[in-house]
C-alpha cells in the first residue's frame, strides 16, 4: 500500500474496484462476533437499502476501516448480496477496505491535498517530507481538492482541516491527535430570524406570493445554475412542476471541482440563506422530501447542518417537506447530478445515460429538482431585493452577480462577489490586490480543472456563462486559478489530468482508459502531441458524462495557447 520510495499511501480513486477486480470475500462464513458488532451498531434502525453508505460510514468511523467480516455481516443484515456491498464500499475513496489477512490502516490518517492550487503552494514537498516526520503509526495519503484552495496548502488530520499548513504543523497535529473538525462561528437560526430570515418562506407558505410569481422573479433576475451548467433556475423549477407527482428535490453540496470554494464559504457563514432557498424550492415543486448531499470533506458543515435542520424542524418551518442529510464519501463524480442521485440511493456514483433527465426521472425514479447550494442561496436574496437588483449588476453587458472562487498566485485570494462578466484582469487588480510580489500574470483557469487554461493575452474577455466557449473554455462553477511566470503550464495540465484519472468513475472506456493513457503520455520527456490530440478527441466525443468530455480541455488549451511549454 505504500508508494515505494516516498512512503505515501496510494490514493484509492472512486471506481478503483472497476480498474481491477472488485475485492470481495466470496462464500465466506458469517463471523458471529462481527454480526453481533454490526447488529449493535445498527440497533434501533429500520435498515434501508438507500442508507447503505451511511452504515458504511458508521462502521468506518467506529472501527477505522471496513473489514471484510463486517461487510459480510452488513450484507447479511441488509439481505443484500455481498458483491453489492463490496462494490459500493470499494467505489468511495474515504472507505478503507481490509480483506482477511490484511493489516488495517493506522488509526490516524493525514490527507494532503495535491490538486492544483495546493500543488502550486508546495503540496508535493509536504507529501515527500511528512511521512518521515510522523512515523509508521500515521498514514499519509494524497487527496483531491478539499474546497479551501485560497488557503493552500491544505491537509486534513483525521477530520480536522489545516490550512496554509506545513510539515511541522501537521506533525504537531498528529502528535496531539487532534482530529475533530472546528465548527465555525456561523449565523444560526435565531440570528437569521432576528435579521428577518424566513420571511419569504412564510410568504410562500401562507399564500401571499404564488409559485408562478416566485418563478417569474427568478427568471427576471436571470439566475442560472451555479453548480456549473448554468441552466436557468426558474425554468428548471417550471419543468419539474410539469412532471407528474410525487416529486423530490436533491441539493448538490458536492463542490469537488478543484478551485471551487464558494458553497463552503456560504455554508460556513450563512447556512440559513441556502436552507430558506431550499425550502422555497421544495414548496415550489411540491417535493415530498429534500435530500441534501454534502461532501465528506466538509465535516463541520455536516455537523452544523444537522444542528440547524433539527432547529428548523422544531420550529415547524419545514412541515411541508422532509429534510434528509446525506454524507458523501470522497468521489468527485458524485457532483454530476445523476451520479449524485445514484449515491443518495446508496449505490456507486455512476452517471446515468440521458434521457430521461433527472427532472423527469431522478431520485428513486421520481421527477427530481436538483439545485446547487449557491443557486438556492440566492433565492431569498433575490426575493428580498427584486429581480432588477440582481440582473442589473453585471459588467461588460452581462447580467447578475457571480461568486468567483479565486486561488493561485494573487495577493488576496478567496470568494469574490463580483459582477458577472468582469474580466480576469479586473478580478486580479480590483478584488485580489494584484499578483503576489515578484510574479507576472501568465494565465488562468476560469472554471476549475474542467474549464481549460487561458493565457494572459485573453485577460480582457468577460467571464460568464457562454462567453468562453469560442476560446475552448468555460466558466463552470467560476473557480479561477491564477498562474504566473513561475508556473509551467504543461505541469499544470498534468496535475489536472491526474485528477481526472483518479476521479474517473470507470464506467466508460474513453474516459477510464483515456485519462490513464493521457497521464502516461504527459509524463514522458517528449510528448506525442498528435497522439494526445487524437486521444482528446475520442474522450470528448465518446465519453458518457461531463468528466470525460471536459478532461481534455487542459491539454488542448495548453497546445493552443502555451505551445512553448509543451515538452517536445
Ligand atoms: C463531472 C461533473 C461534476 C459536477 N460537480 C458538481 C458539484 O460539485 N456541485 C454542483 O452543484 N454541480 C456539479 N455539477 C453540475 C450538476 O450536474 C448539476 O448541473 C447541478 O447540480 C444542477 O444545479 P444548478 O442548476 O443549481 O447548478 C457537476 C457536473 C459534472 C459533469
Ligand atoms: S465519462 Fe464515463 S468513465 Fe468518465 S466519469 Fe463519466 S461516466 Fe464515468
Ligand atoms: S484545497 Fe487544495 S486545491 Fe483545493
512 touches ligand 2 (CB under 6 Å): yes
Q: How many CB atoms lie within 10 A of CB 505?
A: 27
> What is the rounded end-to-end Cα distance, in angstroms, of the chain?
34
Distance CA 425, CA 463 (A): 11
The protein residue with its alpha carbon nearest to ligand 2, atom 1, reads: 548
Distance CA 357, CA 354 (A): 6
Query: In ligand 3, which atom is closest to the CA atom of 260?
Result: 4
- DSSP E strands in 102-159: the ranges are 108-113, 138-143, 155-157
- Taking the centre of ligand 1 as the mean of its atom positions, its distance from the CA of residue 397, in whole angstroms, is 26
The protein residue with its alpha carbon nearest to ligand 2, atom 2, reads: 508
Cell numbers describing residue 329? 464519501
331 touches ligand 2 (CB under 6 Å): no
Query: In ligand 1, which atom is closest to the CA atom of 376?
Result: 26
Residue 552 CA: which ligand is closest?
A: 2
Residue 504 CA: which ligand is closest?
A: 2
pLDDT of residue 29: 85
Distance CA 322, CA 385 (A): 28
- Taking the centre of ligand 1 as the mean of its atom positions, its distance from the CA of residue 332, in whole angstroms, is 10
- Taking the centre of ligand 3 as the mean of its atom positions, its distance from the CA of residue 318, in whole angstroms, is 34
Distance CA 131, CA 135 (A): 6
Does 296 or 3 have the greater pLDDT score?
296
Q: In what order do the strands lie in the sheet with 155-157?
A: 138-143, 108-113, 155-157, 160-162
Residue 267 reports pLDDT greater than 50? yes
**CA-CA distances (angstroms) from residue 30 to 24, 447, 487?**
13, 49, 55
Q: Is 276 helix (H, G, I), strand (E, B) or coil?
A: helix
Phi then psi dihedrals of residue 389, to 5 deg = -55, -45
Question: By C-alpha distance, which of 529, 549, 528 is closest to 540?
Answer: 549
pLDDT in tens, 276-285: 999 999 999 9
Q: Is 61 exposed, middle or buried (0-12, 13-18, 19+ CB in 10 A)?
A: exposed
pLDDT band per the 50, 70, 90 thresholds, residue 1: very low
- Out of 28-32, 108-112, 142-146, which region has the weakest mean confidence (pLDDT)? 28-32
Mean pLDDT of 500-517: 98
Residue 265 reports pLDDT greater than 80? yes
Percent above pLDDT 70 for the chain: 95
Residues with CB under 6 A from ligand 1: 225-229, 231, 252, 254-257, 333, 335-337, 370-372, 375, 545-547
113 touches ligand 3 (CB under 6 Å): yes
Mean pLDDT of 445-454: 98
338 touches ligand 2 (CB under 6 Å): no
Most confident listed range (1-5, 22-26, 564-568):
564-568
Q: Is 517 exposed, middle or buried (0-12, 13-18, 19+ CB in 10 A)?
A: middle
Question: By C-alpha distance, which of 80, 74, 84 is closest to 24?
Answer: 84
List Cβ neighbours of 357 (8 Å cut-off, separation of 6 or more). Answer: none
547 touches ligand 2 (CB under 6 Å): yes
Q: Residue 515: in which H helix or E strand, if any?
A: helix 509-522
Residue 5 reports pLDDT greater than 80? no
548 touches ligand 2 (CB under 6 Å): yes
Distance CA 280, CA 249 (A): 11
Cell numbers describing residue 547? 468528466
Mean pLDDT of 393-404: 96
Mean pLDDT of all residues belonging to the chain: 95
Q: Residue 405: in which H helix or E strand, if any?
A: strand 401-408
pLDDT in tens, 83-109: 999 999 999 999 999 999 999 999 999
118 touches ligand 3 (CB under 6 Å): yes
DSSP string, 195-251: TTTTHHHHHHHTTSS-HHHHHHHHHHHT-B-TTTT--BHHHHHHHHHHSPSSEEEEE
**CA-CA distances (angstroms) from residue 175 to 170, 172, 229?**
9, 5, 43
Query: In ligand 3, which atom is closest to the CA atom of 118?
Result: 2
Query: In ligand 2, which atom is closest to the CA atom of 505?
Result: 8
pLDDT of residue 3: 40
pLDDT of residue 4: 38
489 touches ligand 2 (CB under 6 Å): no
Question: By C-alpha distance, which of 93, 98, 96, 155 is closest to 129?
Answer: 155
Q: Is 294 helix (H, G, I), strand (E, B) or coil?
A: strand
List Cβ neighbours of 458 (8 Å cut-off, separation of 6 or more). Answer: 471, 561
CA 245-247-253 angle, to 5 degrees, is 170
Residue 445 CA: which ligand is closest?
A: 3
- Taking the centre of ligand 3 as the mean of its atom positions, its distance from the CA of residue 122, in whole angstroms, is 11
Q: How far is CA 100 from the centre of its chain?
A: 33
- Taking the centre of ligand 3 as the mean of its atom positions, its distance from the CA of residue 450, in whole angstroms, is 15
Residue 295 CA: which ligand is closest?
A: 1
DSSP-derived secondary structure letter, 355: S
Mean pLDDT of 541-567: 98
pLDDT of residue 525: 97
Amino acid at each position: 500500500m505504500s508508494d515505494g520510495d516516498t512512503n505515501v499511501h496510494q490514493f484509492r480513486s472512486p471506481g478503483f474496484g472497476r480498474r481491477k477486480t472488485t475485492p470481495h470475500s466470496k462464500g465466506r462464513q458469517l463471523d458471529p462476533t462481527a454480526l453481533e458488532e454490526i447488529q449493535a451498531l445498527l440497533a434501533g434502525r429500520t435498515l434501508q437499502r438507500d442508507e447503505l453508505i451511511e452504515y458504511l460510514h458508521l462502521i468506518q468511523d467506529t472501527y477505522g476501516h471496513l473489514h471484510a467480516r463486517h461487510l459480510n455481516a452488513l450484507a447479511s443484515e441488509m439481505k443484500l448480496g455481498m458483491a453489492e456491498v463490496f462494490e459500493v464500499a470499494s467505489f468511495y475513496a474515504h472507505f478503507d477496505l481490509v480483506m482477511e489477512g490484511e493489516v488495517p490502516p493506522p488509526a490516524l490518517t493525514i490527507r494532503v491535498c495535491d490538486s492544483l492550487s495546493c500543488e502550486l503552494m508546495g503540496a508535493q514537498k509536504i507529501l515527500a517530507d511528512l511521512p518521515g516526520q510522523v512515523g509508521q503509526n500515521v498514514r499519509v495519503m494524497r487527496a483531491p481538492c478539499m474546497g479551501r484552495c485560497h488557503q493552500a496548502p491544505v491537509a486534513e488530520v483525521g477530520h480536522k482541516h489545516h490550512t496554509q499548513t506545513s510539515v511541522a504543523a501537521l506533525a504537531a497535529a498528529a502528535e496531539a491527535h487532534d482530529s475533530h473538525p472546528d465548527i465555525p462561528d456561523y449565523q444560526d437560526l435565531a440570528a437569521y430570524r432576528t435579521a428577518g430570515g424566513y420571511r419569504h418562506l412564510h410568504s410562500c407558505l401562507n399564500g401571499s406570493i404564488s409559485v408562478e410569481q416566485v418563478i417569474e422573479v427568478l427568471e427576471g433576475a436571470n439566475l442560472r445554475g451555479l453548480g456549473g451548467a448554468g441552466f436557468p433556475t426558474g425554468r428548471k423549477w417550471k419543468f419539474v412542476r410539469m412532471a407528474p407527482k410525487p416529486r423530490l428535490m436533491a441539493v448538490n453540496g458536492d463542490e469537488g471541482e478543484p478551485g471551487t470554494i464558494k458553497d463552503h464559504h456560504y455554508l460556513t457563514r450563512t447556512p440559513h440563506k441556502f436552507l430558506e432557498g431550499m425550502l422555497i424550492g421544495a414548496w415550489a415543486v411540491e417535493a415530498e422530501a429534500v435530500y441534501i448531499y454534502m461532501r465528506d470533506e466538509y465535516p463541520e458543515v455536516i455537523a452544523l447542518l444537522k444542528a440547524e435542520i433539527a432547529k428548523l424542524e422544531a420550529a415547524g418551518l419545514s412541515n411541508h417537506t422532509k429534510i434528509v442529510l446525506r454524507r458523501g464519501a470522497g468521489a468527485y463524480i458524485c457532483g454530476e447530478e445523476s451520479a449524485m442521485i445514484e449515491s443518495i440511493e446508496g449505490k456507486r456514483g455512476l452517471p446515468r445515460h440521458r434521457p430521461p433527465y433527472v427532472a423527469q426521472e431522478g431520485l428513486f425514479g421520481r421527477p427530481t429538482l436538483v439545485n446547487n447550494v449557491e443557486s438556492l442561496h440566492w433565492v431569498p436574496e433575490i426575493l428580498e431585493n427584486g429581480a432588477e437588483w440582481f440582473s442589473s449588476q453585471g459588467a461588460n453587458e452581462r447580467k447578475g452577480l457571480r461568486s468567483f472562487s479565486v486561488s493561485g498566485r494573487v495577493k488576496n485570494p478567496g470568494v469574490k462577489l463580483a459582477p458577472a462578466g468582469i474580466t480576469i484582469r479586473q478580478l486580479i487588480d480590483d478584488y485580489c490586490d494584484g499578483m503576489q510580489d515578484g510574479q507576472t500574470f501568465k494565465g488562468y483557469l476560469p472554471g476549475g480543472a474542467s474549464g481549460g487554461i487561458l493565457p494572459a493575452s485573453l485577460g480582457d474577455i468577460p467571464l460568464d456563462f457562454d462567453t468562453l466557449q469560442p476560446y475552448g473554455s468555460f466558466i463552470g462553477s467560476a473557480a479561477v486559478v491564477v498562474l504566473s511566470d513561475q508556473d509551467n503550464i504543461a505541469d499544470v495540465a498534468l496535475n489536472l489530468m491526474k485528477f481526472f484519472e483518479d476521479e474517473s468513475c470507470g464506467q466508460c472506456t474513453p474516459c477510464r482508459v483515456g485519462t490513464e493513457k493521457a497521464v502516461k503520455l504527459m509524463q514522458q520527456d517528449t510528448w506525442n502531441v498528435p497522439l494526445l490530440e487524437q486521444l482528446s478527441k475520442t474522450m470528448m466525443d465518446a465519453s458518457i458524462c461531463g468528466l470525460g468530455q471536459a478532461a481534455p480541455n487542459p491539454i488542448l488549451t495548453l497546445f493552443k495557447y502555451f505551445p512553448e511549454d509543451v515538452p517536445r
